[in-house]
Amino acid sequence: MASVQFKAAAIRMILLSLTVAQLSFFRVAEAAAWCVTRSDASNTALQTALDYACAAGADCAPILPSGLCYLPNTLQAHASYAFNSYFQRKGNAPGSCDFGGTATIAQTDPSYGSCVFPSSPSTAGGGGTTPGTGTGGRTPGIGTPPGTPPRTPSPPGTTGPYGGLTPGLGNTSNSKACLELSILKVLISLSCSLLASFIWQVI
């Protein structure tokens, strides 16, 4: 009798811990994340990565001279917007916020004034396969002399003539959210296994 009560209490504890783990999982999974430039990235690497992002699917129209995110007209600001647009359009896929080590995941919204950075794939527009928006692979107004031919981006995962700064897979665990998500997946799996073994023993 005591053994059955102990098993019932153990099952309740496992169910409770599983519920808490699932709630935490959903909190982490739904937390907004943005892809922004790393403060230690060189201007050359940022320009190459920006060229790639705009040519490979980012919505770069807002960083054109008539766009809401053109000002401040800095390489870091424009690259952050383009990196985030690419990251969101790719559904926050692992490796889509690396850009040769020039980008990182941020949990703080980088939006400012009328420049709103998309915070999810549904607010980023496009379907993840849309080519860049008319920038020709380079962002005008940032050291691009008139008539400069656009750079051709390298396909993802290759090394091209401009350093191969494609999103690639890079370091996919570069954020606290990724670590928390991995830990929660393990906890949920462990809880399910323990619950199944206790139920098996009771039956």
38 and 104 co-located in one domain: yes
pTM over 0.85: no
In the chain, which residue ranges form alpha helices assigned H by DSSP? 2-30, 43-55, 75-89, 176-202
Kindly report, residue by residue over 32-66, the tens digit of the pLDDT.
899 999 999 999 999 999 999 999 999 999 999 99
18 and 75 co-located in one domain: no
Query: Which residues have CB under 8 Å from 172's CB, separation 6+?
Result: 94, 95, 98, 178
Residue 124: its pLDDT value, please? 84
Residue 142: its pLDDT value, please? 45
144 and 196 co-located in one domain: no
13 and 63 co-located in one domain: no
Dist CA 33 CA 46 (whole Å):
20
* Closest of 16, 38, 29 to residue 165, by C-alpha: 38
22 and 69 co-located in one domain: no
Residue 176: its pLDDT value, please? 47
User: Given pLDDT bands bounded at 50, 70 and 90, which one contains residue 20?
Assistant: low
Owning domain of residue 22: 2-28+179-202
14 and 76 co-located in one domain: no
114 and 185 co-located in one domain: no
> What does the pLDDT average to over 168-177?
42
Domain count, the chain: 2
